[in-house]
Amino acid sequence: MHSNLITRLIFSFLLGCSWLSRADLYDATLAYQEADYQSAFTQFNHLAQLGNADAMYNLGVMYLYGQGVEKSTADAFTWFSLAHDFGIPEALQTAQLVLQQANGHHRLKEAMRLQKDSLTKTYLLDLTLSQLEKKETVSAVNKVVDALPKYPEEAIRQGVEGWVWLEFDIDNNGKAINIEVVDSYPKHTFTASLLNAVEKWRFSSAKANHSLIYHFATYKGEQYHATLKLQKKDYEQQLMLNIDAAEKGVAQVQYNIANWLSMEDYNAYQLLRYHWRTDDPSNRLLLAAAKNDYELAQYRLAIQLLNRDEKELATLWLEHAAKTMNIARFRLATLLLQNTDEETALIKALNMLEQAGYAQHLRAIILLTNTHLNTTQNLEKARYWVNQGLALDATHPQLLLLHAKLSSSSAQAKQLLSKAFQSATERGWSTAEIQAFAQQLK
């Protein structure tokens, strides 16, 4: 049995070197192959907490033979059983073999029950797909002024496809403000084009934290279609390499393919859809990437769940993404601040915002200043953070308004309001809040 188990562990995740920018399962497997069992155990254990079935199986192997951890038949049985529950059919037979060769069956079953109880959140995360099947409940905002992003000529000529993911607020004028680029593929190819278009858009109503993924597909460029037949062989070979990497568990590739499969107009869609014939392949691959600890996938799932009002499940994914992503820290804090009656929620929200703020995340700084001004009423901290924000954008209308509210004199406040009004007018932003506070000063 030992030989078969190790074969699975070592050969499940052999990957091509070009995709190693983020492949935790691969890194853990490499560590195991190099007999760095402590490192391998730590990484597998982390992925197992995300519901990664292969990591669970590999933990079973390591507990069974005492590699990087104290030998424990009970824990080996537990992890093999969990691996089966999370989608590895053959893990059940392995668990049964462990059980047959061990004494104290009742003790093993009790250990398994306790371990499962400790992974309640993991099971909840596994409900993600079923929750994503629900219709979105968040009210959509409609564009009342539209402008089509220009497809870059060089991208058309080369047949390059991709996407840009933006998040922003919509003010009372229906204008997108505080725009943030969450992701773009390929990097920088389409971003400027979309930002130029969004600057012209106007929406039907105000909204905080609006998320937009815009897909650029080459069907918009006739020139590429004329040369597609010549490029098709290389194109398909590249796709097959990506399919192979995704099958082997490379999270970044799984995430990218999830994006390709979400848009039928992509030239990649038909070939990829032929390979992934299951229902909802895009979200399935997105979940696989999230379980492989790819933060963008975790954050994407969280946003989709928030759009379905699944706040508890969204919060769990945000907590994972917030370990490294400032925008995830910001969005997690916005959820936590909805429970300001709970002191622990407020403390955690402030901690998330401070982490993002120290990393110069502007939207987090604005929210942090607002929270200290209106909730904690810690004016010293509010002044500190508004100054940090103005160091990043000295004419930001919202920050200038906050600075005015924190001013010690009416004259200074009026001066700052004048700057805020002028800046908002130049940017096309709403001046309603600025004018309302100006009325209070009269």
315 within domain boundaries:
yes
pLDDT of residue 428: 96
Domain that holds residue 98: 2-120
- State whether 154 and 240 are in the same domain: yes
Q: Is 188 left (phi over 0), alpha (psi -120 to 50) or beta?
A: left
Decide if 410 is inside a domain: yes
CATH number at 230 reads: 3.30.2420.10
Regarding whether 166 and 87 lie in a shared domain, the answer is no
pLDDT over 90 at 15, yes or no: no
- CA-nearest of 63, 60, 74, 66 to 102 is 74
* Per-residue model confidence as pLDDT tens digits over 301-347: 999 999 999 999 999 999 999 999 999 999 999 999 997 677 899 99
CA-CA distance, 215 to 264, in Å (whole number)?
A: 10
Q: Is residue 415's pLDDT more than 90?
A: yes
pLDDT at residue 68, rounded to an integer? 94
Number of H helices, E strands in the chain: 24, 5
93 and 215 housed in the same domain: no
- pLDDT 10s digits, 154-199: 888 877 889 999 999 999 999 999 999 999 999 999 999 999 999 9
Average pLDDT over residues 221-249: 70
In a domain, 300, yes or no: no
Do 152 and 95 sit in the same domain of this protein? no
Place of tokens 């905080």: 208
Q: What's the pLDDT at 441? A: 85
pLDDT over threshold 70, residue 227: no
Residue 292 belongs to a domain: no
CATH no. for residue 313? Answer: 1.25.40
pLDDT at 222: 53
Within-domain flag for 284: no
* Residue 167 falls inside a structural domain: yes
Confidence of residue 13 (pLDDT cuts 50, 70, 90): very low
Minimum mean pLDDT range among 99-108, 268-277, 379-388, 414-423:
99-108
Mean pLDDT within 4-11: 34
User: Is residue 137 predicted with pLDDT exceeding 70?
Assistant: yes
Which of 233, 258, 277 is at the close of a domain?
277
- For the segment 256-282, the average pLDDT, to the nearest whole number, is 87
Mean pLDDT of 54-67: 93
Q: What is the mean pLDDT of residues 108-132?
A: 76
Q: What is the pLDDT of residue 219?
A: 57
User: Is pLDDT larger for residue 223 or for residue 80?
Assistant: 80
Same structural domain, 10 and 65: yes
Q: How would you class 102 by CB atoms within 10 Å of its CB: exposed for 0-12, middle for 13-18, buried for 19 or more?
A: middle
Question: Per-residue DSSP letters for 318-370?
Answer: HHHHTTT-HHHHHHHHHHHGGGTTSHHHHHHHHHHHHHHHHTT-HHHHHHHHH
- Whether residue 293 is contained in a domain is answered as no
Number of domain units in the chain: 3
**Residue 40, pLDDT score:** 92
Lowest mean pLDDT among 237-246, 249-258, 273-282, 345-354: 237-246
Task: Choose the final residue of a domain: 231, 258, 277.
Answer: 277
Whether residue 59 lies inside any domain: the answer is: yes
More confident of the two residues 366 and 84: 366
CATH at 66: 1.25.40.10
- 94: β partners: none
Q: Are residues 64 and 111 in the same domain?
A: yes
Asked if residue 97 and residue 218 are part of one domain, the reply reads no
Instruction: Report the mean per-residue pLDDT for the chain.
Output: 87
Boundary residue ending a domain (253, 277, 301): 277
Same domain for 101 and 152?
A: no
Whole-structure pTM value: 0.85
By the 8 A CB rule, do 254 and 283 touch? Answer: no
Q: Do 321 and 429 belong together in one domain?
A: yes
Is the model's pLDDT at 139 over the cut of 80? no
160/97 same-domain check? no
Percent of the chain with pLDDT over 90: 60
- Alpha-carbon gap, residue 56 to 115, rounded angstroms: 12
Are 259 and 362 found together in one domain? Answer: no
Question: Does 150 lie in the same domain as 268?
Answer: yes
